[in-house]
Amino acid sequence: MKENEVPQDKSHLASAKMNELCYVVDKNGNYSTKQSSGWAPKTLALDKSLELIDERVKEIKQKVINNELSPIAYYMELNRMDLSVLAAYFGKWKWIVKRHFNPSKFDKLTSKSLKKYADIFNISMDELKEISK
């Protein structure tokens, strides 16, 4: 894009006093960079994806409250992780971590495993065990 075409729309970046770096072609035809405060279509897509994530977090929280899932599933979603990422942090296979989503399996986890999950989510073990309604 040309230097004068770099979008400067309002976005989450602007509110956080950050800019995005864009590659542009200057008036001499050379590539350079220019700061952009945002682009409306990108902001709209980001807002929609964040809304969907928030809805998923609420659904999973309700399932935890209903004892259908363990708090591990909730904190995984809350931290915008997927099963592969969480399993990698935990150092076990995905199927093992997925078993921990079962409330009865979660209740049988050792203190060491609970502590490891709490550290991954950057919360206390008490927070991991109890989700406030």
Percent above pLDDT 70 for the chain: 90
Residue type, 73: A
Per-residue model confidence as pLDDT tens digits over 8-46 = 767 665 566 777 888 888 888 888 887 877 777 777 888
| Exposure b/e, 67-79, CB count within 10 A at least 16 = b | eebbbbbbbbbbe
Please choose, from the candidates 32, 72, 52, 62, the residue with its C-alpha nearest in 3D space to the C-alpha of residue 133.
62
Taking only the tens place, the pLDDT of each residue in 40-69 is 777 788 888 889 999 999 999 999 999 999
Residue 24: beta bridge partners?
Answer: 32
Going from the N-terminus, what domains does the chain have, and what CATH number goes with each? 3-38 (no CATH), 50-129 (1.10.260)
Q: In terms of pTM, does the model score above 0.75?
A: no
